[in-house]
Structure 1
């Protein structure tokens, strides 16, 4: 983990850079698709959903949450990705929903830069790295 400065433009630029975004999506999808069937089951996507830390309240401190409530929230998140409601998430569904979530996050950030703690390999970290590479060039 590292502390990085980013703004909405950093996130939007990453999502709009088709090559960088597609490579990142394909890499993450392949990593999550542990049975290599080209689809993500609920169990395969659950770890990624848990990494979103929807129950975190402040700087890594987690809330004690009822396991039934947690399961319900993760089911709802899975449904967000499973656009055709067939019980699995294909690459295009994963890409579309990740893109939608990142644009929503960018819209929530506004135009002022913010400091965030980012995990190595996260999509936000990849956005920061892409922006840094463009500035260095």
Structure 2
């Protein structure tokens, strides 16, 4: 885990760079696809999504976490191909960006998580 500062523009800029965003989400997809069948089952998604974006937390109850996953499965179905997984990641990051508004935030994130990838992307862009 690492502490970093970012804004909504960090996330939106990352999503908007479709080539980079697609490449990185495809890499995560391959990592989470444990049986290498080109499809993420609900079980694979539940096992690995927290490594990509923080869905679970120490303060959230099991019911709250289940509620998040149930909403994801209701919206996207229970099996994910790479494109559907990318759409889910874009939707999660867009929701986070909306919640942040224009204020910078300091957050503790996974070193190799999607938010940190967005921060690195922004740094490479020189912003």
Task: For 2:103 and 2:65, locate their aligned partners in 1 and report how far apart those are by CA, in whole Å.
Answer: 32
Give the CA deviation at 1:74. Answer: 2.6
Residue 31 of structure 1 aligns to a residue whose secondary structure is: helix
Q: Say yes or no: does 1:135 pair with 2:115.
A: no
Could you say which structure has the larger radius of gyration? 1
| TM-score of the pair, normalised by structure 2 | 0.85
Residue 40 of structure 1 aligns to a residue whose secondary structure is: coil
- The verdict on how the C-alpha distance between 1:68 and 1:128 changes in structure 2, with shifts beyond 3 A counting, is closer
Contact kept? 1:42, 1:88, Cα under 8 Å: yes
How many equivalent pairs are there? 126
Q: 1:1-137, aligned counterparts within 5 Å?
A: 1-51=1-51, 52-54=53-55, 56=57, 61-63=58-60, 65=61, 67=62, 70-82=65-77, 87-135=78-126
Note the aligned Cα RMSD (angstroms). Answer: 2.2
Please list the CA deviations of residues 58-86 of structure 1 after superposition, one character each: whole Å capped at 9, or x if unmatched: xxx434x3x5665454333333332xxxx
Higher percent of residues as strand: 1
- The verdict on how the C-alpha distance between 1:54 and 1:122 changes in structure 2, with shifts beyond 3 A counting, is closer
